[in-house]
């Protein structure tokens, strides 16, 4: 995540409906955790250390890490 943000490579694609697809890990791409929005609204943002290369934005909606439910289940009940 630090490398992704520091390189300014956050947004992978912007769809027709202005939805931003990012390089942040998704639930299906990582066994332990994924990243989801954690902002109150669109104005709830963090300043980026470098502008995003694709969109040029210098602020981005707050995000947070989530543990995958399957991982938590497996660690608690199967160990």
pLDDT, tens digit (0-9, with 9 covering 90-100), for 9-62:
999 999 988 889 999 999 999 999 999 999 999 899 999 999 999 999 999 999
DSSP E strands, 1-79: 11-14, 20-22, 33-37, 45-47, 59-61, 63-67
For residue 27, what are the domain limits?
2-77
Measured between alpha carbons, how far is residue 43 from residues 3, 17, 28, 70 in Å?
24, 19, 28, 32
Give the count of domains, the chain. Answer: 1
pLDDT at 30: 93
Listed in sequence order, the DSSP H helices in 1-79 are: 2-6, 69-77
Q: Quick check: pTM over 0.85?
A: no
Rg (CA), the chain: 15
Does residue 56 come out as left (phi exceeding 0), alpha (psi in the -120 to 50 range) or beta? left
């Amino acid at each position: 995540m630090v490398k992704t943000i520091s390189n300014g490579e956050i947004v992978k694609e912007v769809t027709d409906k202005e939805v931003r697809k990012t390089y942040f890990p998704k639930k299906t791409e990582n066994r332990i955790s994924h990243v989801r929005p954690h902002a109150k609204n669109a104005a709830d943002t963090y300043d980026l250390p470098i502008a995003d290369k694709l969109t040029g934005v210098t602020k981005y909606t707050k995000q947070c890490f989530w543990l995958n439910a399957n991982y938590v289940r497996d660690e608690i009940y199967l160990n």
